[in-house]
Structure 1
Amino acid sequence: MKDDWLSERHKRLLFLLCPVVLAVVDTIVSVGPMHASTLEVAIGLVGGVALLARRRTPVAVLLATVPGVYLGTGWFAAMAALYTVARLRSERRPLIACALLVAVAHYLPVPLERLGEVGWENLDAEDAVLVSLAPVALGRAVAMHAELATRLRELSESRAREHQLVARQVLATERARLGREMHDVVAHQVSLVSLQAGALRMSSTEPAVREAADAIRKLSVRTLEELRHMVGLLRAAGVGGGDLSPQPRLADLDRLIGECGSDIDADIDAAACRDCPDAVERAAFRIVQEALTNVRKHAPGAKVWVSLRCQGQQLCVEVRNGPACAGTEPLDLPSGGHGLIGLYERVHLLGGSFEATALADGGFLVSAILPTSAS
């Protein structure tokens, strides 16, 4: 790292001193044929040494080199100063004025010396224009190249930041989806355990069995509380790995309803389980699963009606329950608050409609309409 820093420092020092040395050499070389005086040589050398400050005050350095151009002892210093002005300044009028100043200073002595000669005026005019335009063109080209390189670097950094934001958004969406899947699956299974433990406690007369059933119910409640905490962590932090969630199908509804052990009247159209997109099947399964879980939580012992049928290009899912049975002890299960909201998000993303309303008889209705074909 230290060697690299010294190398870069040496490069900058070389870039700073090289034009100065060339300007001094140009002055010394041009003095011989001209038989210039000491003052003319000194003016040329001053213009060359002034190049040391060309990056700080480019216009002032250019003005210091103009006398050397006029006297013929410092044309390279003027070209270097004019290049620096064009490299650092983008204003058009000051740049044109500096170029014209150098061109006039370069051409002005010629007519006085060669007034009687024919053809020299045009050649020297072209030379004066070239001496002024070449540094300007080169300076602006280098400036534009540096500007384009800077914009390209900023564009690359912007695209990299955009890709990172997109990746974070995808990760956040996947975390939320995994959280909903975890909540749906585990909450359903644990609520079944708690329901069976409650039934065992009510039916058994042995104190040990009733005590064990109570312990199972408490452990179920604690498990769901831990689940809610884990879902919160899953939403807040990154999770690596592949897809960890199960992929249920509508064909699994019979097994799901059979596991519940409640009074459920199911009307499932067999044709609805065929030719449906995977996302629609998973959404329909989750709707039924979440609705049955809520029935066990809030209306244990209630009569439940499950309906699933196809109507044209739509899949209609409906889960309705009556009021809870009198004297039935409700399940004290915690809620993560993501159940119905997650169902609404699923159905909405699929382009369907979702409704969850309380009924006049004390029951509850969950219904959804899902499109079965891409629009």
Structure 2
Amino acid sequence: MSTGQALWRQVPPWAVDTSLVVLAAIDAWISLQDEGTPSFTWACAALGCAALFLRRRFPLAVVLLTLPMAVLQDVAVAPMAALYTLATSTRNRPLLAGCALLNAAAATVLWPLSDTFTAEDRTWTLIQFVYTLATAFAPVLFGQLVQARHDVARQLVEVEEAREHERALYAQTVLARERAQLAREMHDVVSHQVSLIAVQAGALQVAAKDSQAREGARAIRILSVNTLDELRHMVTLLRASGGKETELTPQPTLADLRQLIANSGIETTLTGELPSGIGTTAQRTVYRTVQEALTNVRKHAPGARAQVSLWQDARHFGVTVTNTAPTRASIALPSDRHGLVGLRERAELLGGTLTAEPTPQGGYKIELRAPTQAA
């Protein structure tokens, strides 16, 4: 907005209306300088000028009230102001055209009417009518232009508001995805480590002969269990926002798989291989699948052995983690039940599937299968 427009908008409406009335009154007074002007003509001029005070509330009525003074006088300010106000307040094009025609006709009528109306008079009357009609359409067109400008400005504001709303929604979506990914990483990494502490503390509690050592191992196990329980609630809250995209860095790859197995505390055999040049997303998915499967073995199948098989065929690749039946009773640990859900989400990102089911021998099997093109 320019400085001039800003200053104009600061002018109060009553000041603008008063200025128009004064200008219209001066215009009418100049045209009424002839001696012997009837009082009726003065009254019509006063009515037409004063009506401009009401032009914002009753624009059509004000246009009609300025017609008598246009018939009796050669004036321009009051009729043009009335037509402009009407044009800015209505979208009825036929009404605007009719008012412009009325104004042109009123300004062209010879008053008082004369019986001696020659052909030359008719020609000049027609010329004057066309000229007056063009003059009357000028404020109408300008008023419509101002109305269109206001419409465009309002639409621009609405578009900007819609864009702000879209940006806010996009930011919320990104935040939701980050929360979901953070929840998945918390479960895959933090839960993995804490559950290992709990399992090792439980084993130490059972094997220790010194009562003080057993009590210390018991305290560690209880704290680990409570930590897992709190972590489960945090993951549940974070996952409430949903989302299946975005990844956090740094992320593990297949190069870290052997280290994961070595640190798992489970007798595990690794066999097979995956396609060469496999992408980082696929590597991460395979790693997290093995990590979650070994975590479940520690939790629910103490003493069991595990087999991690990497495989590929003409159309698919994947990993199968199978464990034997447990050899001793498991220690009760809280389960957030989000591990397999997160793995299925990762598999879906690759266009694959994840299956988890018990084996006939009393163990358990988790298998990730993804199309080769996803590698």
Does structure 2 conserve the Cα–Cα contact (< 8 Å) formed by 1:353 and 1:369? yes
* Whole-Å separation in 1 of the counterparts to 2:36 and 2:158: 55
Query: 1:122: Cα distance to partner?
Result: 3.4
**Structure 2 spans left out of the alignment, 5+ residues:** 1-5
Q: Structure 1 length normalisation: TM-score?
A: 0.88
Residue of structure 2 equivalent to 1:329: 329
Does structure 1 conserve the Cα–Cα contact (< 8 Å) formed by 2:72 and 2:111? no
Structure 2: which amino acid aligns with 1:159? R
Query: 1:18: Cα distance to partner?
Result: 2.5
Residue of structure 2 equivalent to 1:309: 311
Residue of structure 2 equivalent to 1:193: 197
Query: 1:285: Cα distance to partner?
Result: 0.7
Query: 1:312: Cα distance to partner?
Result: 4.3
Q: Where does 1:291-370 land on structure 2 (aligned, <5 Å)?
A: 291-312=293-314, 314-325=316-327, 328-370=328-370
* Whole-Å separation in 1 of the counterparts to 2:329 and 2:17: 89
Give the match's secondary structure for 2:269: strand
Does structure 2 conserve the Cα–Cα contact (< 8 Å) formed by 1:319 and 1:365? yes
Q: Where does 1:1-375 land on structure 2 (aligned, <5 Å)?
A: 10-32=11-33, 36-72=37-73, 74-109=75-110, 112=113, 115-116=117-118, 117=120, 119-235=123-239, 246-269=250-273, 272=275, 274-312=276-314, 314-325=316-327, 328-371=328-371, 373=373
Q: Deviations over 1:172-209 (max 9, x none)?
A: 10111011101110111111112222222232222222
Greater alpha carbon shift after TM alignment, 139-148 vs 41-50: 41-50
Distance change (3 Å), C-alpha of 1:6 and 1:331: farther
* Whole-Å separation in 2 of the counterparts to 1:125 and 1:7: 34
Does structure 2 conserve the Cα–Cα contact (< 8 Å) formed by 1:41 and 1:73? no
Does structure 2 conserve the Cα–Cα contact (< 8 Å) formed by 1:65 and 1:74? no
Structure 1: which amino acid aligns with 2:351? G
Q: Deviations over 1:159-178 (max 9, x none)?
A: 11111101110111011101
Query: 1:251: Cα distance to partner?
Result: 1.0
Does structure 1 conserve the Cα–Cα contact (< 8 Å) formed by 2:63 and 2:83? yes
* Whole-Å separation in 2 of the counterparts to 1:216 and 1:267: 35
Q: Percent identity?
A: 42
Give the match's secondary structure for 1:32: coil
Distance change (3 Å), C-alpha of 1:305 and 1:35: farther
Structure 1: which amino acid aligns with 2:76? W
Query: 1:224: Cα distance to partner?
Result: 0.9
Does structure 2 conserve the Cα–Cα contact (< 8 Å) formed by 1:250 and 1:282? yes
Distance change (3 Å), C-alpha of 1:374 and 1:268: closer
* Whole-Å separation in 1 of the counterparts to 2:26 and 2:271: 101
Count of residue pairs the alignment pairs up: 363
Distance change (3 Å), C-alpha of 1:344 and 1:218: same
Give the match's secondary structure for 2:263: helix
Q: Deviations over 1:93-122 (max 9, x none)?
A: 322222222122112227956834465223
* Whole-Å separation in 2 of the counterparts to 1:261 and 1:159: 53
Residue of structure 1 equivalent to 2:3: none
Distance change (3 Å), C-alpha of 1:95 and 1:145: same
Greater alpha carbon shift after TM alignment, 193-202 vs 283-292: 193-202
Q: Structure 2 length normalisation: TM-score?
A: 0.88
* Whole-Å separation in 2 of the counterparts to 1:343 and 1:109: 92
